Amino acid sequence: MYPQITTKGTQFRLWAPHADAVQLRIYTEQSGHDYQMQRDNKGYHRFSLNQPAPNARYHYIVNGQALPDPASLFQPDGVHGPSMTVDFDTLDWSSDTSWKGIPLKELIFYELHIGTFTEGGTYLSAMERLDELVDLGINAVQIMPLAQCPGKWNWGYDSVQLFAPNHNYGCPEELCTLVKACHTRGLAIYLDVVYNHLGPEGNYLAQFGPYFHQEATAWGDCPDMSRAEVRAFFIENARYWIEHYHFDGIRFDAIAMIHDPSPTHIMNEVGALYQKLSKKLGRHIHAIGESNIYQPEFLPEHGGAMHAPWSDDIGHAAEASVTHINTHSTRYYNGPEDLLSALQQGSLYYRTEEGHAERRPHDAAQPVIERCVNQLQNHDIVGNSPYGKRIHQYTTTDTQRALAALILLYPTPPMLFMGEEFSANGPFLFFTDFESPELRTAVEQGRAREFPLHSWEEAISPTSPEAFYLSKLPPQSEGEHSSLTWYKALLRERKAWQRESILCPERLNVIGDPDNGLFVLNYTHPTQPRFVAAKLHHGADQITVTGADWVHLQSGNAYLKNGKLTLQCNDCVIGSGNIRM
């Protein structure tokens, strides 16, 4: 698939059934030298160079056109330039031998974009902020896609060379240095990859062979996973990031949009692969699927093999409860009423066999919520709006803090989005850097068409450099209402509840009064019952409940007196006892 370097030489292998003949062109400082590759009857072309060739730049010549390798390991000059070989045996992983990973139930994710996480926007500069995450209480970094994209900046979902870490952020050796730096600090590190489509610029796969299904997604060509060679390409990619870069797992983007009519869906095949790799390598490895609608068929409890799905419903219902945003794609959220239901059920929508989103019937089986990654904010929730606003900018930091407690003390792996912990005032906007004028115009029109609930007339163009530079994360600060201190306290509380076997779905009872903005997580326990009570701004100015024994943490002006707990608007209280209304 990708070039293999050994002490005896370098092997090049390419699947290009559309080409009767392929030449390998290896560049030197003065010129390029062409080698004829050998074709077999399955459309694979091979050539063995009788010497190791690390950092060699090369193209494949197909029908007279010089093309980058579909499985390129590095694109130092971008998506259109020559590919480069990488000798993974020269990378020093000696400091990583004792790393065993982190169990799923203990993970606390922090999603970040390498290009905007720091001013430098590189793999190495990202290391400058890792200690902040450790101090916050994070134990897992999730990086938005790194596979090579066109231009100088991109969210990463327009990837076209899936084995090549983005050259704008540094070289492969520097990515390895970042992974080792995370592990040294006790941080797991996860990568976001995109298999449901390839981006529209620099996508040369169709010139090599029938990689794509005839039906494209809205974002680009859709790989045909029913074809054995294409399937092998993506499964090898899923293995590659684990074995060669030591990632602790992969978050697979929009798995519902992956076209695969095979008896075993490719995501379940990858999940089974990761289970085997985990045993082989002696560390926790997880396959996590982004499915904005709950799909149990990917989970072990329902015959699947993935470890966890993302769960969007709680976050979207929370957003709809405190802002005017209540529509996401074809799903509608009824504000506080849906927030209570989502907290009680774990999800609101499921995907039908026809691929449509429908409300889960009340008698449906309870979701396996301990596997669902939940978040108040992520790159989509913040960035898929004209101004890249964070939730506290629509409401207040007090509101954000109350909602954060419901997410971070819920019995699912939580995720924070970069800057959330200190209520960063900078936006996170959508940004791309296509060369094609037609694509630049299409992106601007497509955003407005995909998210019609927003007004886009005065939005910053995603193709403008300003969109990227404004999205740079500012230095960490306490902010106006000490959000950072609150988030640290919530994460300490979460870890304590896990140690005490409190934070379990079977112990959770969710009650509330959505008309008056009251939401309560009650955890039963023989000796240490716990609760989280949040009062949003709906209905009465204050509400009084009973059942609180004492208060551990509080945000706002709530007070406990004579066994009665009174909460004002946007108050949040965490304590011992079980709340009764």
Domains in the chain: ranges and CATH: 4-90 (2.60.40.10), 107-496 (3.20.20.80), 502-580 (2.60.40.1180)
> Looking at residue 479, what is its pLDDT?
58
Collect all residues with Cβ–Cβ distance below 8 Å to 12 and sequence separation of at least 6.
3, 24, 37, 46, 47, 48, 49, 58
Characterise 186 by phi-psi region: left (phi > 0), alpha (psi -120 to 50), beta (else). Answer: left
> Looking at residue 457, what is its pLDDT?
67
> Looking at residue 355, what is its pLDDT?
66
Whether the pLDDT of residue 193 is over 70: the answer is yes
Collect all residues with Cβ–Cβ distance below 8 Å to 162 and sequence separation of at least 6.
71, 147, 193, 194, 198, 234, 237
Rounded alpha-carbon distances, angstroms, from residue 558 to 61, 157, 510, 533, 564:
70, 44, 20, 10, 11
Collect all residues with Cβ–Cβ distance below 8 Å to 490 and sequence separation of at least 6.
404, 405, 408, 409, 553, 574
- Closest to 127 (Cα-Cα) out of 183, 57, 77, 82: 183
> Looking at residue 553, what is its pLDDT?
96
Which of 374-388, 414-428, 543-557 shows the lowest per-residue confidence on average (mean pLDDT)?
A: 374-388
* pTM (predicted TM-score): 0.96
> Looking at residue 491, what is its pLDDT?
98
What is the rounded average pLDDT of the residues 32-59?
95
pLDDT band at 461 (very low <50, low <70, confident <90, very high): confident
What is the rounded average pLDDT of the residues 83-100?
96
Among candidate residues 158, 221, 248, 253, the one labeled active-site is: 253
Which of 62-76, 239-253, 477-491 shows the lowest per-residue confidence on average (mean pLDDT)?
A: 477-491
Characterise 563 by phi-psi region: left (phi > 0), alpha (psi -120 to 50), beta (else). Answer: left
Q: Residues for the chain: how many in total?
A: 581
> Looking at residue 82, what is its pLDDT?
97
Structural element, H or E, at residue 350: strand 349-351
d(C-alpha 252, C-alpha 145), whole Å: 10
Collect all residues with Cβ–Cβ distance below 8 Å to 291 and sequence separation of at least 6.
254, 255, 256, 298, 309, 310, 351
> Looking at residue 460, what is its pLDDT?
86
Query: In the 8-state DSSP scheme, what is residue 463?
Result: T
β-pairing, 530-535 vs 518-523, is antiparallel
Beta bridge partners of 300: none
What is the rounded average pLDDT of the residues 394-399?
94
Expressed in angstroms, the distance from the first to the final Cα of the chain is 62
Burial 1-39 (b: 16+ CB within 10 A, else e): bbbebeeeebebbbbbeebeebbbbbeeeeebeeeebeb
Helix 266-281 × helix 228-243 angle, to 10° = 30
> Looking at residue 15, what is its pLDDT?
97
Among candidate residues 69, 290, 313, 370, the one labeled active-site is: 290
What is the rounded average pLDDT of the residues 130-154?
97
d(C-alpha 348, C-alpha 294), whole Å: 8
Whether the pLDDT of residue 453 is over 60: the answer is no
Whether the pLDDT of residue 143 is over 80: the answer is yes
pLDDT band at 360 (very low <50, low <70, confident <90, very high): confident
Handedness of CA 162, 164, 168, 174 (dihedral sign): positive
d(C-alpha 152, C-alpha 329), whole Å: 29
Query: In the 8-state DSSP scheme, what is residue 412?
Result: S
Beta-sheet strand order (sheet of 10-15): 4-5, 10-15, 44-49, 38-39
Whether the pLDDT of residue 454 is over 60: the answer is no
d(C-alpha 420, C-alpha 142), whole Å: 14
pLDDT band at 447 (very low <50, low <70, confident <90, very high): low
Structural element, H or E, at residue 546: strand 542-555
Whether the pLDDT of residue 564 is over 70: the answer is yes
AA identity, residue 461: S
Which of 58-62, 133-137, 193-197, 219-223 shows the lowest per-residue confidence on average (mean pLDDT)?
A: 219-223
Q: What percent of the chain has pLDDT over 90?
A: 82
Structural element, H or E, at residue 497: helix 483-499
d(C-alpha 380, C-alpha 267), whole Å: 22
Whether the pLDDT of residue 481 is over 60: the answer is no
d(C-alpha 229, C-alpha 233), whole Å: 6
Burial class (CB in 10 A: 0-12, 13-18, 19+), 501: exposed
pLDDT band at 455 (very low <50, low <70, confident <90, very high): low
Whether the pLDDT of residue 246 is over 80: the answer is yes
Both tokens of 33, joined, read: 């030298």
- Closest to 476 (Cα-Cα) out of 128, 111, 169: 128
Q: Helix, strand or coil for residue 285? A: coil
Per-residue pLDDT tens over the stretch 409-437: 999 999 999 999 999 999 999 999 988 88
pLDDT band at 452 (very low <50, low <70, confident <90, very high): low
CB 208 within 8 A of CB 160: no
User: DSSP letters along 315-332, please?
Assistant: HHHHHHHHSS--EETTEE
Structural element, H or E, at residue 489: helix 483-499
Q: Is 433 in the active site?
A: no
Which of 282-286, 305-309, 357-361 shows the lowest per-residue confidence on average (mean pLDDT)?
A: 357-361
d(C-alpha 230, C-alpha 225), whole Å: 6
Mean pLDDT over the full length of the chain: 93
Q: Helix, strand or coil for residue 278? A: helix
d(C-alpha 362, C-alpha 565), whole Å: 32
Whether the pLDDT of residue 359 is over 70: the answer is yes
Query: In the 8-state DSSP scheme, what is residue 366?
Result: P
Whether the pLDDT of residue 480 is over 60: the answer is no
pLDDT band at 356 (very low <50, low <70, confident <90, very high): confident
pLDDT band at 177 (very low <50, low <70, confident <90, very high): very high
Q: Is 253 in the active site?
A: yes
Per-residue pLDDT tens over the stretch 210-225: 999 887 777 889 999 9
